[in-house]
Each structure stands twice: as structure tokens, then as C-alpha cells.
Structure 1
Amino acid sequence: MRNGTTVQEFILEGFPAIQHLGNVLLVVHLLAYLASIAGNAVIVTITCADSRLHTPMYFFLSIFSFFECCIISAVIPKLLVIFLLGKQTISFPACFIQAFVFVFLGATGFLLIAVLSLDPYVAICKPLHYPTIMNLKTCFLLVTSCFALAFTLITGLIVKVSQLSFCGPHVIPHFFCDVGPLIHLSCSDTRSVEMLTFVLALFILLTSFIITIIAYSNIVVTIVRLPSAREKQKKALSTCSSHLIVLSLMYGSCVFIYVKPKQTNRLDSNREAALVNMVVTPLLNPVIYTLRNKQVHQALRETMCRMKILRIK
């Protein structure tokens, strides 16, 4: 850290306008957090336990669900502590660690979304080449590439932000440490860091969005051109539309928060957008992507039956 930094800890403002509803907010966010963790954990567990789900699609979904559990666990527990105990302070190193974990996992998640869209694209649009294209080596390579690219980009950004001077104020107008609010508190010249944040956010979101839209567009065109199997067409189109609704929430909230040249604008409204991204979408993802699937339902029922038999024994 530079010598100009005198701040030793930050205060997370949370939601001051509705702070009097602390107990209600605690219960709501706790239930949402537990439901999100449970739903995503079920996906990971079932995928590992059932050999029929050892396919590229469920492999990507389990990785994505694992990242969802990690990203909400990096933010929501601290928010629950604020509601429960009113403890809003966070140390300087802990704040930057939380910012790094959140942004890194978020960037990795968006890159994984693009990878998720490639699997149904190859399966539907290139069915004859699917076994050779989507093999185990390719799956690991794609996931590793997402992890490595996000780690490289976000590490450089957080290091750049940590080199700024923080000499007061130390109240973060947010419920967790994020890049935008931290830049806002710096007493250094932040123009280069703001532009770097804007460029990285635009690159990650735009790359993921373009790949996803191209993949789903080709899937829809291929399905519509099929001369038969009307029921399968309706089911596939319904699934695609559900996926796109969840994706629109994720992309919309992150574009609103990060894709702006000056990170100090609209910090108050960023809290609501971040809350949607942190609470609503992790709840919807397990339902939309996996738990509606009959194959998952069957695997879940069989796993529960096995657990009951083991308890009886």
C-alpha cells in the first residue's frame, strides 16, 4: 500500500433507509441464502453421485453451481452479521480480499455462462460432432481457461485499486466491499483505474454475452427448422426462454453496476442492482438450469431412497 493510506478499516453502510427492519431483512436474506446454497449444493452432489449425469452439460452446471455457492458465501454472511449484530466494520485487508473474491468469482461465472451455452449449441446444431468436440479434455480446458483468464484480469485490477491512497472518508455506501465504492473513497487520481474497470467489465460481459446470444440464436433457428417433433420444439424453446430470462437479470444488473466510465456514479442504486444479482439469480439458477429436468428428478429420488435405506440399516 502507498504511504498516503491512513484508513485501517472501512464501515459498510448497508441499507440505512430500511435499517429499522433489521430482523425482517435478516430472516429474508438468511432464508434466501440457505435456499441458494441448498439448491446449488444439490446440483453438485447429484452430479457427482449419479454416473448418468457425468456428461459435459452437468459437469459445466456443477462447476457453475459451485461458483454460485462461493460468490454468495463471500458476501451474504457479512450482510447477515450487519443485520443481526449491527457490526458494520471490516478491516482494510479483509475488504480487499472480499472485493477480489467477489469480482474474480463473478467474472469467472460470466465466462462459464458462455461455456454453458456452447454445450447445447454443439449438441443441437452439430450433433454428429458432439462426442469428438465435447470430450473430457475439452471440458477441463474450457473451465481452466475461464478460471485463468478471470484470475489474470481481476488480479491486475485489484492490485491497481490497492495501490490507491485511502485517507478518508471510510464509509462504503454498499453492503459489501466492491471495486466501485472503493474507488469512490480513494483520495488519489482514479481516472486510470476507473477506465481499467470499465474496459475489463465491458470485455468480460460483452464477450460472454455475444457468445451466449450467438449460441442460443443458432439453437432456436435449428429447432424451428426441424420438420417434426413439435413437443420437443416447444420444450426446447421454453427452456431457452427460461435461460435467457435469468441471463437478462444477471447481465442487466452487472452492466448497470460496472459498465460505466466513471465508477463513482449511481453508487446508491448499485446496492439494489447488486442485491438482485446476489439473491435473486442464485435462487433461480438451480430451478431454471437443472431442477426442472426429469433426469435430475429421477437421480434425486434414487439418491434419497438410497439414503433412507442406509438410515434403516
Structure 2
Amino acid sequence: MSGENQTIVSEFLLLGLPIEPEQHNLFYALFLAMYLTTVMGNMLIIILIRLDSHLHTPMYLFLSNLSFSDLCFSSVTIPKLLQNMQSQVPSIPYGGCLTQMYFFPFFGDLESFLLVAMAYDRYVAICFPLHYTTIMSPQLCLSLVALSGVLTTFHAMLHTLLMARLSFCADNVIPHFFCDMSALLKLACSDTQVNELVIFIMGGLVIVIPFLLIIMSYVRIISSILKVPSARGIRKAFSTCGSHLSVVSLFYGTIIGLYLCPSANNSTIKDTVMAMMYTVVTPMLNPFIYSLRNRDMKGALGRVFCKRKTLSFS
């Protein structure tokens, strides 16, 4: 394509959600309430783990980082969506679009790696209970969190740098509510084969491999339980792994539905709905799953409130 047919794109227009005008205010209030619930729920988990010494264990170290990841993951897209819903021109600057595109896979991948670390923690707790404290040492836990951060930084930076080298034509309309990589590639004028190849390869590394590692952990857990079958052991395993399995099902279920089950006629509505699921709904539900299904979290909440009441009366 000749240089005369290209322009320097300074901003993109986000079409947002396919909402009827008369329902606009209703959905704005709904998304605002969901985002505030996400922020408060995940902040509550982080604060409880920080304040209660009973929760200073490897599992809750990973959980606090998962809550931080959920909080940031939702914050990458929803505040801009809410702003654009109130704007006559729902735009995002070119630099802001690349920034959003960097942090979106960063926190998404971070959640994936943290779910693997939590699955390994549950595997060690059930299959090697006598050696749990030795294996899951503070050094190993911090190393797993740090390694997750390094890998996600590399992956997000790679995609952002590859996207920054592309040229964009006059068409700057993104049929989405955030700067999705696949949508941006469709607007590019230059060759995108390298980008598509990296997305395919790295997608397998950061989504498929972590998912398989989680499956392997639970296969070993189930195998260990079946060796010594007992109602008490099954209840203990379910109470230990139930919350984590619920979060894994939510997180990977929406990703599989979006990327591995393509919709007919490249429907953007289905893509948008599924994206809303893992950017808004899943981060909002995770705190409820871990607080309502977790005896330790409910106990920590009671202890913190009792301590505050005692200090206020003294």
C-alpha cells in the first residue's frame, strides 16, 4: 500500500457495547456497580490476608496476589468503558491503546500463572501433607510469584512492541470496548504475519500449558484420594480445592469459549459478551467464591471485626 493511502493514527474509536440507547443508563449503572463490587471485594481479601496472621500461609499469599491481579485486570478496561459510555466521542489515544493492550495480557497471564501456583500448592497439601511446610517454603512461594511476574512482563511487552511497529490506515474504529489485539490487527496496513504467529505460539505457552498443569495437579490429587478412599478425606479435599476449582472453571471456561469455540460469521457480539465475562464478571465473583466457600476467610473476617470492636470499646 502506498504512503499516500496511509495516515498517522493518533487515536482509535471504541464502538463499545451493543446497547440500545434507552438502556444506556441502566447498563452504565450496572457496570459501575459491578466494578465497585470487584474493587471492594478484592481489596477486602487483600486487607484480611494482610491483617490476620492465621492467613500468612502459601495458599493465601497466592490468593492475595490473585485478588490484586483481578482488581488490576478489571481496572484496565472498565473505567475507560464507563468514561466512553458518558462521552459523545468514545475514543482512546494511540498511546493509551498500546498501554491498555500491554496491561490486558499482563494481568490476564498473571492470573493464569497464579492459578497454576495455587494448584501446585493444593497438590502438595493433599499428596504430601507431612512435607508441606518444607516443600512450600516462603522462598519457593516468593520465587513462583516473581517468576509469574517476569514471564507475564516478557509476554505483554513482546506483543506491545510488535504492535507498535505496525502502520495503521485511516480506519481507526475498533468494534470492541477495549483495545483488543485481534481487532487492532484487522486495522493494520502493514504485514501482520509475525504478530499472528507470536499470538498463536505464545497463546499456547501462557494459556494451554498452565491449563494442562492444573489438570495434571488435580489428576494427581484425585489419584491420591482414591488410594485411601474415605468420606472424611473426600470432604477435606473438596473443601481444600473447591474454591480454586470454581475460579479455574470460570477463568478458563470463558477463554476456551472465546478462543477455541469460534462463533459463526465472526460475530463480534459473542466476542464482546465473552470478553465481558472474563474482564468484569469473573474478577467480581472470585472474592465471593473464596469468602463464602472458605472457612478461614470467614473466620479472619470475624476476628478482624471483633478486634476493631474491642479497640473501640477500650
TM surpasses 0.5: yes
Normalising by structure 2, what TM-score? 0.90
CA distance change for structure 1 residues 5 and 219 in 2, over 3 Å: closer, same or farther?
A: farther
The answer for the alignment partner of 1:111 in structure 2 is 113
1:118-157 alignment, distance < 5 Å = 118-157=120-159
Q: Partners of 1:26 and 1:312 in 2: how far apart?
A: 42
1:254 maps to a residue whose letter is: I
Q: Partners of 1:214 and 1:130 in 2: how far apart?
A: 19
CA distance change for structure 1 residues 294 and 241 in 2, over 3 Å: closer, same or farther?
A: closer
2:289 maps to a residue whose letter is: I
Deviation for aligned residue 1:288: 2.2
Deviation for aligned residue 1:292: 2.1
Gaps of 5+ in 2: none
Gaps of 5+ in 1: none
Specify the SS of the correspondent of 1:175: coil
Specify the SS of the correspondent of 1:16: coil
Deviation for aligned residue 1:142: 0.4
The answer for the alignment partner of 2:92 in structure 1 is 90
Instruction: Note if contact 1:201-1:258 (Cα within 8 Å) is conserved in structure 2.
Output: no
Q: Partners of 1:48 and 1:33 in 2: how far apart?
A: 22
Instruction: Note if contact 1:118-1:215 (Cα within 8 Å) is conserved in structure 2.
Output: yes
Deviation for aligned residue 1:227: 3.9
2:172 maps to a residue whose letter is: H
CA distance change for structure 1 residues 195 and 116 in 2, over 3 Å: closer, same or farther?
A: same
Superposed CA offset, 1:78-106 (max 9, x none):
11112234441110000110110111111
Q: Partners of 1:60 and 1:300 in 2: how far apart?
A: 18
**Percent identity of paired positions between Structure 1 and Structure 2:** 39
Q: Partners of 1:48 and 1:250 in 2: how far apart?
A: 25
Superposed CA offset, 1:141-172 (max 9, x none):
00110110111122111100111001221111
Runs of 4+ that moved beyond 6 A? none
The answer for the alignment partner of 1:159 in structure 2 is 161
Q: Partners of 2:84 and 2:310 in 1: how far apart?
A: 42
1:1-313 alignment, distance < 5 Å = 6-228=8-230, 230-234=231-235, 236-237=237-238, 240=241, 243-258=244-259, 265-311=266-312
CA RMSD of aligned residues (A): 2.3
Normalising by structure 1, what TM-score? 0.91
Larger relative contact order (Cα-Cα within 8 Å, sequence gap ≥ 6): 2
Between the two proteins, the alignment pairs up a number of residues equal to 308
Q: Partners of 1:19 and 1:174 in 2: how far apart?
A: 17
